[in-house]
Amino acid sequence: MNWPSHGADPYKLYQMQGKEPKETITDFSVNTNPYGAPPGLKSHLENHLSLIHEYPDLDQQRLRDRIAENQDLQPENVLVGNGASELIHLCARLWQGKRIGIIHPTFSEYQKACEAYDCEVVELYVSERRNFDLFLPDILPHLQRMDVLMLCHPNNPTGRTYQPDVLYELLKLCEFNGVQVMIDEAFYDFVSGEPFFSPDLFEFPNVLLLRSLTKMYSIPGLRLGYLLAGAAVIEKLSRLQPAWSVNVLAEEAGFYCLSQEGFARQTAAAVSREKAILFLELKKLGFSPLSTDTNFFLMKDPFHSQANEMVRFLLQEGMAVRHTNNFASLNGTFVRVAVKQRKENEQLLRALNKWRSLCLQ
């Protein structure tokens, strides 16, 4: 069966099964902010609709200035892109033909981008036995086989952050071995109450940091992300980027979102509270959600070795969760579930209780 390659596509899941979509679908496969975009963003964009008659700024200077100010960097260290996906593909194009390490299970777009630009992929794995944490002895022997390491942190789909000392040591070893590291931090905003290590670009000139505004600010339709790196790397990437890659409304939305002080912190705290309640109730039903540091988590179907039947059942109940058939090493044994607001989480719990009863008959 040809499962969708990404989440946030529940209608394709229904189509795949030859079923009519439910009138209302609660999408737990999409891991954006469950509380929506910052207050006032829609009206702000409505007030700037006249901008659609103008060409975007080729350099996104105003937005780059704001990002640089927020990150205590220079605008020359910032590249804005049409979502994090464009920036991933730009990096793969920059490293065309090189040997790129990818640690599975992780975001499938890295592999897709590498294959598009004839990169040799060095496939590494973190183990379920170790809660999908980095285990350096499994990785270090392979560093000399790669030119670049693509790392998702926090990782998607596991939701795990890595111990600061372990990640620091890995980056130092990459630097020693001449390995560049692209770290995708698309979900770092959601980490709450845990030590999160984001490397200093001045200490690690071999590192590129990728950020997304899609997730925290709930603007996936606008496509906006940015990359932080040394000025020389940014210049090379910008030469590869198509002109006017970021549209005027996306740039305006980015500037507005990054001006909302406290929004990300308050959201992360609220999601953390809901996650704790949801985990407690799931465990009462016999489910074992894996520990996570973000707004989503992995979970097995305790009644079957594969989780796909549970995915189908939840679709019948008007809910979509993210299958894991296209995540290397997971192979459909888990589902990825996003934490939503209380009412939606309770809807999921009722459906899973019904599934539990059916399986125990």
pLDDT above 80: residue 21: no
Alpha-carbon distance of 102 to 176, in angstroms, equals 19
Cβ atoms of 49 and 252 closer than 8 Å: no
Neighbouring-strand partners of residue 210:
184, 227
Cβ atoms of 105 and 330 closer than 8 Å: yes
Specify the pTM.
0.94
Alpha-carbon distance of 245 to 248, in angstroms, equals 10
Cβ atoms of 156 and 215 closer than 8 Å: no
Sign for the CA dihedral angle at 147, 152, 154, 158 comes to negative
Question: For residue 161, what pLDDT is reported?
Answer: 95
Neighbours of 102 (CB within 10 A): 23
Structural domain boundaries in the chain: 10-30+263-360, 41-257
pLDDT in tens, 92-126: 999 999 999 999 999 999 999 999 999 999 999 99
pLDDT in tens, 286-298: 999 999 999 999 9
pLDDT in tens, 247-262: 999 999 999 999 998 9
Alpha helices of 72-130 — where are they, by DSSP H? 83-94, 109-116
According to CATH, the superfamily of the domain at 10-30+263-360 is Aspartate Aminotransferase, domain 1 (3.90.1150.10)
What CATH code is assigned to 41-257? 3.40.640.10
Q: Is the peptide bond before 154 cis (omega within 30 degrees of 0)?
A: yes
pLDDT in tens, 155-207: 999 999 999 999 999 999 999 999 999 999 999 999 987 678 999 999 999 99
For 253-318, the DSSP string reads HHHHHTT-TTHHHHHHHHHHHHHHHHHHHHHHTT--PPP-SSSEEEEE-TT-SSSHHHHHHHHHTT
Q: In what order do the strands lie in the sheet with 78-81?
A: 78-81, 225-228, 207-212, 180-184, 148-152, 99-104, 120-125
In single-letter form, the type of residue at position 69 comes to E
